[in-house]
Structure 1
């Protein structure tokens, strides 16, 4: 038995035990009647409250007023109890014991002992609540184990699917055009950032808000407004970042208001430095055919604003590849080569992964059945 199966068996066993314990207490309460148990619990609580309040005060030759007060209060309490209250005789017995001229500590101790069976019945309510909480915790443990197992199954199924890939497929037919495009767009973007004005550069980034598959972070509104409304906005972004390092006196030679530049550029320096061409690249291994077709459509609209025709043409070539029937076969082969480790390849070839999948699926079925058999409270 594997460690994962043993862990699942443990949480299922804990759930079954917790459910049995809860049902045992719930059945005891049902046997006596819920309302009757609650009535006994209320009476026992009232009785013990009186005992705790007057024990020591109404005993011996101490506080006579407290002695009278206790006798009257306890007698009135017992008189008001329903005739058919379970363990009513125990309450009556204690009242009779207190009906004398002087009380001692032993009288209070004996009363508590006499009321113990009523207390045991009353305790069933708290016991049921405690066991219900234990049951909920045990059920959560099974649910958490199931979630962990689902993640494991997803991973095993991913590996299994990759194992079906044709590792002899000519993945270079995809890799070469994608790498060529990624290189071109990275170079074109770097040139654009280096040579275009910050106003134009951030304007392009802001434009991508209309293209959700081109995932640039939008420029901060105050930074965008600053470069659009000041003369220094005509400088490239790298120059603005360089200016942010200047002392105010040196910066005064380049801009009209050094403090304004530092307030807008220095504050957002990390944002500016993080901008790169990654949202424009395809990457490797490539996405699914549908994802690539839709993304390439948006990329053409963005890349065409700053890159040369060769770069756009390279992107269109990739979009054409995504329409070919062989694309998914090549992509799966690329993913298998890129993602499968040596250990995973060995498990696939030896059949170990199939056995792991069968075991995990059976384990999942046991956990799901345990949750079905033990519903939430």
Structure 2
């Protein structure tokens, strides 16, 4: 039996025991005793300092009146009513001391014990709720662990000797070339043109380029500095305002528009045009290539575009899925994973995890 199932079992037994105790005594009676005990205790706590010794006589009278009203309002056949009567006898004196208040609390002890029956029931229910939450968390963890190991088994079925370089070579060649081309493009064109390109790229869902901030676009389109390259704008943004006065008409506007957007501009480095490794399924990679061909043709020469088309052509190859599966397996499988697959321990782990999952699910369903 797993720890989570055992905790559930114990929590349910505690709830059943606590509810049986409540039923034996009667819920209504217990709630009345609990309420009366809380009121009596609250009165003792509130008036102890002011109603003792030669303190405030008005407070002393109020305390005795309120305490007597609380006790005398209880039914004679209420369980532990004698405890309240005894406490009342203790405080029904001409003068009260701290020891009298202590004696009154002690006299209320039997009523407190009875009130604890309801408290224990609440605690038992709270523990059961937490045990159920913990069981559900454990159940999700088991599902995740099973899925991870099932994925490991799938990877183990891949042909690890497949010539994955047929995919890796063209993709890596393209990735390197497109970043180099974008770096050159970024260095050559104006900030206006670069941000226009970024705005266009942002409309392509498979290219992770964020649209340029509106205030930055507005600045480069309305100021002469927008004809400078982005690297030059970033360099100018680092100048002091007094030095900037020699280069731009409105140093404050440049600082506000460019310096605050440095992170965005730094991230416009061409990496969003690269392809993932290992690649996705053929249809997904094909769509990624087709979106990029349109964009890359704007910032790179035909050799880079041709390499991208070569990658796209590979997605129609009958061997693509075998090569891709092998690439994924080689990327995800480490030495430990291969050893676990070879030893058969992964299958054993799945069986053990499934057994615990089924036991836990049954225990939760029984609720």
TM-score w.r.t. the length of structure 2 is 0.84
Closer, same or farther in 2 for the Cα pair 1:168/1:88, shift >3 Å? same
Residues 33-42 or 48-57, more deviating: 48-57
* Alignment partner of 1:186 is 2:183: no
* Alignment partner of 1:47 is 2:40: yes
In 2, the alpha carbon distance for the partners of 1:236 and 1:111 equals 86
- Given candidates 346, 362, 365, the residue that maps to 1:369 is 362
Alignment correspondent of 1:308? 301
Closer, same or farther in 2 for the Cα pair 1:58/1:306, shift >3 Å? closer
In 1, the alpha carbon distance for the partners of 2:33 and 2:223 equals 82
* Alignment partner of 1:260 is 2:253: yes
Closer, same or farther in 2 for the Cα pair 1:323/1:366, shift >3 Å? farther
In 2, the alpha carbon distance for the partners of 1:145 and 1:71 equals 55
Q: Deviations over 1:104-139 (max 9, x none)?
A: 988766655554332212122222333333333333
In 1, the alpha carbon distance for the partners of 2:168 and 2:113 equals 76
- Given candidates 318, 326, 331, the residue that maps to 1:338 is 331
- Given candidates 1, 15, 18, the residue that maps to 1:22 is 15
Alignment correspondent of 1:203? 196
* Alignment partner of 1:32 is 2:25: yes
In 2, the alpha carbon distance for the partners of 1:57 and 1:192 equals 84
Closer, same or farther in 2 for the Cα pair 1:173/1:30, shift >3 Å? same
In 2, the alpha carbon distance for the partners of 1:223 and 1:61 equals 78
Report if the CA contact (8 A) 1:182-1:283 is conserved: no
The total of aligned residue pairs comes to: 367
- Given candidates 155, 164, 173, the residue that maps to 1:171 is 164
Alignment correspondent of 1:86? 79
Q: In the TM superposition, what is the alpha-carbon distance from 1:163 to its structure 2 partner?
A: 0.8
Closer, same or farther in 2 for the Cα pair 1:117/1:200, shift >3 Å? same
Q: In the TM superposition, what is the alpha-carbon distance from 1:41 to its structure 2 partner?
A: 1.0
In 1, the alpha carbon distance for the partners of 2:72 and 2:242 equals 94
Closer, same or farther in 2 for the Cα pair 1:93/1:329, shift >3 Å? same
Q: Deviations over 1:52-109 (max 9, x none)?
A: 5677988899999888766655554344223543333544565577778898988766
Residues 60-69 or 145-154, more deviating: 60-69
Q: In the TM superposition, what is the alpha-carbon distance from 1:280 to its structure 2 partner?
A: 0.8
* Alignment partner of 1:278 is 2:271: yes
Alignment correspondent of 1:233? 226
Mapping of residues 209-248 of structure 1, within 5 Å: 209-248=202-241
SS in 2 for 1:304: helix
Alignment correspondent of 1:348? 341
In 2, the alpha carbon distance for the partners of 1:296 and 1:344 equals 32
Alignment correspondent of 2:141? 148
Residues 341-350 or 314-323, more deviating: 314-323
TM-score w.r.t. the length of structure 1 is 0.82
Closer, same or farther in 2 for the Cα pair 1:231/1:84, shift >3 Å? same
Closer, same or farther in 2 for the Cα pair 1:308/1:80, shift >3 Å? same
* Alignment partner of 1:128 is 2:135: no
Closer, same or farther in 2 for the Cα pair 1:209/1:68, shift >3 Å? closer
- Given candidates 262, 268, 293, the residue that maps to 2:286 is 293
In 2, the alpha carbon distance for the partners of 1:361 and 1:157 equals 11
In 2, the alpha carbon distance for the partners of 1:344 and 1:334 equals 15
CA-based RMSD: 3.4
5+ residue gaps in structure 2? Answer: none
